[in-house]
Amino acid sequence: MASANDGVTLRIGGRDVVVTHPSKLLIPDAKVAKLDLVNYYLAVAEGALRGAGGRPCVLVRYPNGIGDEFFFQKRAPAKRPEWLEVASIQFPSGRSAEEVVPRHPADLAWMANLACLELHPHPVRADDLDHPDELRVDLDPVPGVEWPQIRQVARVVREALADLGLTGWPKTSGSRGLHVLVRIERRWSFDQVRRAALALAREVERRAPGLATSAWWKEERQGVFVDYNQNAKDRTVASAYSVRPKRDARVSTPVSWQELGDCDPADFTLWTVPKRWQAIGDPHAAIDARADSLEPLLELSARHEAEGDGDAPWPPNYRKAPGEPKRAPPSRARRDAPLIEIARADREDDAIAAAEAWKASNPKAAAHLEPADVLVDRMRSSSSLRYRVRINLTRVPPALRPKAPKAPKTPQPG
């Protein structure tokens, strides 16, 4: 390792990677500097590449740390090493971009030097961009749902998958939820994989009513949302061993099903996961040993459609799909629905904190709310992500309903 000016040059597998501003703090509360991020990804490179390697990745960059603005960069920088691979991705909008395809530890270090905290791969391999090899089960809890319920729903997911002949591999999301990954044969289109994921979501909801939901509109959700739309083309999720933009430098961490019953996601951070790797290895080491068939899930989807449950809503930035129901929340049809917007935020944690602050300021109204009445919406553009906080006042007596603020508050990161 050689130093020059304010940079550090690392020799990684025969490749030189320059880390600029190595002491810049990216996660101040956890005392994580840029060089710490690089060293972390080198320590867990085998597992991180098992999750993101060979796949086109969106760069999620935090150039001034998690307390400042971040952005999604789909196009690989024009100035990049000759040895870095890229793949041309076609988006639903009709546009295309060359995205980074990491394959070596040096690639991860190069991405970390760009302040890419997170790894966001597409569910396809670079040699076949039209046929996913991974079905992603994203368990997204509504505000107020705690970790024990998420684990309970994950066990239902495991049982449903097993009954259909598929194997699920769990990992913490690094945020509030949990992911279950399923390696699949590369035989089906993105739309077919999404329909399979929708069928699974409905099956999990059937098995765990009140605990899990497949409802796309947040005002209709209760418990843990099984987000089938994470399998739509151009959607990405944080992959295994990805650092998340949390104040404790939390990591999306593979776990075994046995370990899931006792683990606490807060225990898995940039500082602790390399030690865990050294102690127990990778719980997902065998994930690529078998690829499952989607036929059982697609047969289930066909049965659902025959019974009257066809397609479900797509995300707002997608073209209207054949057979898709009306893409509008139920409250829009009911113009008198008491739904108010109270805040917007750049961070999910800040959005949730704004909701808690609103409840503290309006205790009489808050006493009538259920967790599902607090709606934290992701508003994603092509290069950024913000959060909107709304309150459904349907359960609140009219006399106790506060008015919406004239201008929704934008809380500052604390």
Work out the percent of the chain whose per-residue pLDDT is above 90.
73
> Residue with structure tokens 């390792």?
1
d(CA 104, CA 115): 18
| Percent helix, percent strand, percent coil in the chain, to nearest 5 | 30, 25, 45
Q: Are 84 and 76 in contact (CB under 8 A)?
A: yes
Query: Which among 154, 126, 125 has a CA at the least distance from the CA of 140?
Result: 154
Whether 413 shows a pLDDT value over 90: the answer reads no
d(CA 409, CA 411): 6
Write out the two tokens for 337.
Answer: 């629905």
Mean pLDDT, rounded, for 318-337: 74
Whether 4 shows a pLDDT value over 60: the answer reads no
Read off the pLDDT band of 414 (50, 70, 90): very low
Domain with CATH 3.90.920.10 in the chain: 2-128+266-277
Instruction: Considering only CA atoms, give the Rg of the chain.
Output: 22
Mean pLDDT, rounded, for 107-121: 97
Write out the two tokens for 153.
Answer: 């729903």
Mean pLDDT, rounded, for 117-143: 96
| Domain 2-128+266-277 CATH superfamily | DNA primase, PRIM domain (3.90.920.10)
Beta bridge partners of 386: 379
Reported pTM: 0.85
